[in-house]
Chains A and B, each alone.
Chain A
């Protein structure tokens, strides 16, 4: 099984190699993306068979490459099969989207070679079964995505984004490297099989946990390691943004799960506290940032951070229950996390595709320059709306189900014996609830300002519907969002093997329940039936419509907007993204963003415009990143003096070193 997967990955790499010389030609784009689509679909099948088929027996493979005398190890087990599926689903959609979207690419030679390589990197991370292959693939994935981020390198912002991204990625890799160093010990047992068989002692495990959170968190976008994410994800071409946000962050989560759930042995209770706090803070901060952005793709990137927070919270919950031996509840929490991973990969890809379509149609990412696209791009608007609903956790779509499962797990926290956990988990629950509500606000804003209202610029008014490939990709994802929302039981059962593998328990089978409800624990406790809710909505809505149209009136007259007295029809009088976010900024901004509003009013009778400027400062950037960057600059500045010494002074240095070492010798013994 891993052999098949690897050869498919090999095809991707070959496609990357082919793309280097041919990327200038017209056939290159459909060819490369076509190959990617075909291979990812095959890999999806492989993953699905591994997930459904014989989940209990992982199959592995060793190649005589990688670290000397160790070989390169690959394995497909229930965990990697699940992530392989998610990764390839997203990748297949992105490839399909890109067949159409890539037509607008200005510099295909900077995208086509890296795209398949990037896909290959992500798959290899999931397939890897030793630390070296894992990290090579991990960093290769970062490297290729870095190249994609700076594909449009003539904008200096993109270069800066790429720079910060690469630094943070390498930082994360080094943290993981240290973690694996601890796991492997001084003898260098880098295969996961050996690591698994000998879990570290509690103290070491704690250190590894922290390193793993830093390492994978910096890739996934955990606050405060997220700073690169909202810069880098939007900078890449949209299908790559979708992959980075929708898929690569999941690969990071995979790394976390692999290390923490599988290699560290039985978890300590406080692990979950760390993960929960990180997750809760990330979710809230992420969505608050998202609400303040005006760049559509950046909104989506920050929303990814929020969702990563939700996922990590679910994982933290699972750890908490696992550490107390409550396997079935741990399974519930983990199912919620994994299901959310799947869901987020669907709707985040969908939304990035949508933003890409908008970007292509208008040349704008700035929401303040968009508007009214629902008229010119109705189909894109529709699928984007589905994505917005799904990500806002609204029934009957899929985002709601996974969050609902997470809340169900939170509600079981009284079963934990530890007081600290009992108190922290509801607080995290509150944070999750807050971020879910804010996410809805955020996506009302994103969709409303971008697609609704009237066009704010000529570019927006000239927009045209996007191409068929892109639309197909988005429609498929939207349909999957709906299916996963109304038939969650099927998906939950598919996750059972993975969950069983990780926490040693699973949720009760869901597919056999009548009316296709899902019941996490017991029917008397809680249940949800997406299908029925969906059907009821359709039936009652349609009934109401028919009844009213038949019995009352179905006449429509078009007229100018009322707005309390037919005001100025200029599009500028519309509510803007900034004004929409203003109430929330007023509520949360003073703490989180240290927002300052400065209003300048012209003197009476003056016709000069009044001006309102809002200054937001990024608390996390100011607290963490600015001092580090400043410190490095300072140190570099100070040390740089050593470049300008006279020869005599250099000799003095040599002399000093000599005397020092002799002194050491004199004192030693």
Chain B
């Protein structure tokens, strides 16, 4: 009986992230528009976009191979799994232990791997430019992310997100320099990973400096829809990740109790809203940087991650 409950809970989590993801993006867009004193698109515009795209036929480049058609589904599947493994309103879900934080990052890596390949598949220069920049950014973002994981794991003694979030919620954690550095680094990585300003600009399709959008330039119809959805999911994933690690309030351990659900969900909604507001403000305030400034930006994250790890030893000794 309990197993079914756990299954259900896991299902709820999966559907929740899937449904919330476009909303989050819509919210960020809305906020940004408002900050620019524009009306902006409706909050639910991403849903409409997705549905419209899905209904359209796919125009496939003559040269595209099976890999090109396979990639959207793969990217969507991996991103969705990754996103549903991050504790949102409740931790310790049934399958939460099937991948820890490192595996989660690697799952996203798998998705990126295919996306970059798809960028090369048609054999255009835009696809190539996007892919090559994407992997360059990833090659810096991933180690930075792993250093952050190290820092956290050294403090928590685990890479299991449920355990981590529970620990961070406990008074044992205290206030540490390492955590601060880790947070900053994580934010930088999240910005880079989600192709946000100042690393990339998600709003443009035709700019020479673009990365992610150049890579998926050849996609259309339902394929594009899946890729867009995956991007929404990824944003949600990172926001949830930051939330569950650095703002773990309200996330309860596994219980099938409606009261904790409500608290958890409410807290989650608040956290999402707060962070997307912050993201929108940040994106409005800074300018996009040149592509070759990005390594420095990410290098800073990597260094902070490493520094945090090392500082952890210093602060950990008392």
Q: Which residues of A contact B133 (CB under 8 A)?
A: 583
Residue of A nearest to B97 (CB): A527
Segment of B107-115, B169-177, B195-203, B263-271 engaged in the interface with chain A = B107-115
Q: Which residues of A contact B45 (CB under 8 A)?
A: none
Within the complex, what minimum Cβ distance (angstroms) separates A250 from chain B?
A: 24
Tell me if B255 is interfacial: C-beta within 8 Å of chain A.
no
Residue of B nearest to A423 (CB): B310
Within the complex, what minimum Cβ distance (angstroms) separates B309 from chain A?
A: 4
User: Are B158 and A525 closer than 8 Å at their CB atoms?
Assistant: yes
Given the known interface contacts A404-B106, A444-B116, A525-B158, the answer about A430 and B54 at a Cβ–Cβ threshold of 8 Å is: no
Tell me if A354 is interfacial: C-beta within 8 Å of chain B.
no
User: Are B313 and A440 closer than 8 Å at their CB atoms?
Assistant: no
Tell me if A564 is interfacial: C-beta within 8 Å of chain B.
yes
User: Are B77 and A540 closer than 8 Å at their CB atoms?
Assistant: yes
Q: Which residues of B contact A586 (CB under 8 A)?
A: 292, 295
Tell me if B12 is interfacial: C-beta within 8 Å of chain A.
no
Given the known interface contacts A434-B139, A562-B61, A571-B123, the answer about A524 and B158 at a Cβ–Cβ threshold of 8 Å is: yes
Tell me if B143 is interfacial: C-beta within 8 Å of chain A.
yes
Tell me if A395 is interfacial: C-beta within 8 Å of chain B.
yes
Q: Which residues of A contact B98 (CB under 8 A)?
A: 515, 517, 527-529, 532-533, 536
Tell me if B160 is interfacial: C-beta within 8 Å of chain A.
yes
Contact code string B298-318 (vs A, CB < 8 Å = 1, else 0) = 000010011001100100100
User: Are B291 and A583 closer than 8 Å at their CB atoms?
Assistant: yes
Complex alpha-carbon distance, A427 and B119, angstroms: 33
Q: Which residues of A contact B305 (CB under 8 A)?
A: 430
Within the complex, what minimum Cβ distance (angstroms) separates B130 from chain A?
A: 9
User: Are B97 and A400 closer than 8 Å at their CB atoms?
Assistant: no
Which of the listed residues A407, A523, A573 has the most CB atoms from chain B within 10 Å of its own CB? A407
Q: What is the size, in residues, of chain B's interface with A at 8 Å between Cβ atoms? A: 85
User: Are B218 and A426 closer than 8 Å at their CB atoms?
Assistant: no
Q: Which residues of A contact B58 (CB under 8 A)?
A: 553, 555-557
Q: Which residues of B contact A555 (CB under 8 A)?
A: 57-58, 221
Residue of B nearest to A378 (CB): B66
Cross-interface CB contact of B99 among A448, A529, A538, A557, cutoff 8 Å? A529
Tell me if A122 is interfacial: C-beta within 8 Å of chain B.
no
User: Are B218 and A573 closer than 8 Å at their CB atoms?
Assistant: no
Cross-interface CB contact of B76 among A448, A540, A561, A576, cutoff 8 Å? A540
User: Are B140 and A437 closer than 8 Å at their CB atoms?
Assistant: yes
Tell me if B142 is interfacial: C-beta within 8 Å of chain A.
yes
Tell me if B47 is interfacial: C-beta within 8 Å of chain A.
no
Tell me if A140 is interfacial: C-beta within 8 Å of chain B.
no
Tell me if B159 is interfacial: C-beta within 8 Å of chain A.
yes
Tell me if A151 is interfacial: C-beta within 8 Å of chain B.
no
Tell me if B100 is interfacial: C-beta within 8 Å of chain A.
yes
Tell me if A579 is interfacial: C-beta within 8 Å of chain B.
yes
User: Are A560 and B61 closer than 8 Å at their CB atoms?
Assistant: yes
Given the known interface contacts A374-B67, A407-B146, A448-B131, the answer about A561 and B77 at a Cβ–Cβ threshold of 8 Å is: no
User: Are B217 and A541 closer than 8 Å at their CB atoms?
Assistant: no
User: Are B146 and A429 closer than 8 Å at their CB atoms?
Assistant: yes
User: Are B120 and A541 closer than 8 Å at their CB atoms?
Assistant: no
User: Are A556 and B60 closer than 8 Å at their CB atoms?
Assistant: yes
User: Are A563 and B159 closer than 8 Å at their CB atoms?
Assistant: no
Complex alpha-carbon distance, A392 and B113, angstroms: 9
Residue of B nearest to A287 (CB): B139
Q: Which residues of A contact B282 (CB under 8 A)?
A: none
Residue of B nearest to A537 (CB): B77
Complex alpha-carbon distance, A144 and B156, angstroms: 52
User: Are A584 and B136 closer than 8 Å at their CB atoms?
Assistant: yes
Segment of A10-18, A269-277, A304-312, A544-552 engaged in the interface with chain B = A544-552
Tell me if A449 is interfacial: C-beta within 8 Å of chain B.
yes
Complex alpha-carbon distance, A190 and B17, angstroms: 65
Within the complex, what minimum Cβ distance (angstroms) separates A191 from chain B?
A: 44
Complex alpha-carbon distance, A555 and B57, angstroms: 5
Within the complex, what minimum Cβ distance (angstroms) separates B210 from chain A?
A: 11
Segment of A71-79, A227-235, A408-416, A646-654 engaged in the interface with chain B = A408-416
Cross-interface CB contact of A393 among B100, B106, B124, cutoff 8 Å? B106
Within the complex, what minimum Cβ distance (angstroms) separates A141 from chain B?
A: 35
Given the known interface contacts A430-B143, A537-B81, the answer about A575 and B125 at a Cβ–Cβ threshold of 8 Å is: yes
Residue of A nearest to B56 (CB): A553
Q: Which residues of A contact B286 (CB under 8 A)?
A: none
Tell me if A587 is interfacial: C-beta within 8 Å of chain B.
yes
Segment of B31-39, B147-155, B179-187, B238-246 engaged in the interface with chain A = B147-155
Within the complex, what minimum Cβ distance (angstroms) separates B167 from chain A?
A: 10
Within the complex, what minimum Cβ distance (angstroms) separates A39 from chain B?
A: 38
Contact code string A425-444 (vs B, CB < 8 Å = 1, else 0) = 01101100110111011011
Tell me if A501 is interfacial: C-beta within 8 Å of chain B.
no
Given the known interface contacts A372-B123, A374-B65, the answer about A579 and B113 at a Cβ–Cβ threshold of 8 Å is: no
> Can you report 7 A-B residue pairs in the complex whose CB atoms are below 8 A from each other?
A517-B98, A532-B98, A533-B99, A552-B222, A555-B58, A559-B61, A563-B217
Given contact pairs A532-B95, A541-B74, enumerate 11 new A-B contacts (beta carbons under 8 Å): A411-B150, A414-B313, A452-B65, A526-B160, A544-B76, A545-B73, A555-B57, A567-B124, A575-B127, A584-B135, A587-B140
Q: Which A residues fall within an 8 A CB radius of B? A: 371-372, 374-375, 378, 381, 385, 389, 392-395, 400, 404, 407-408, 410-411, 414, 419, 422-423, 426-427, 429-430, 433-434, 436-438, 440-441, 443-445, 447-449, 452-454, 515, 517, 523-529, 532-533, 536-538, 540-542, 544-545, 548, 551-553, 555-564, 567, 571, 573-576, 579-584, 586-587
**Closest 4 pairs (CB-CB, A-B):** A575-B128, A453-B123, A448-B120, A541-B77
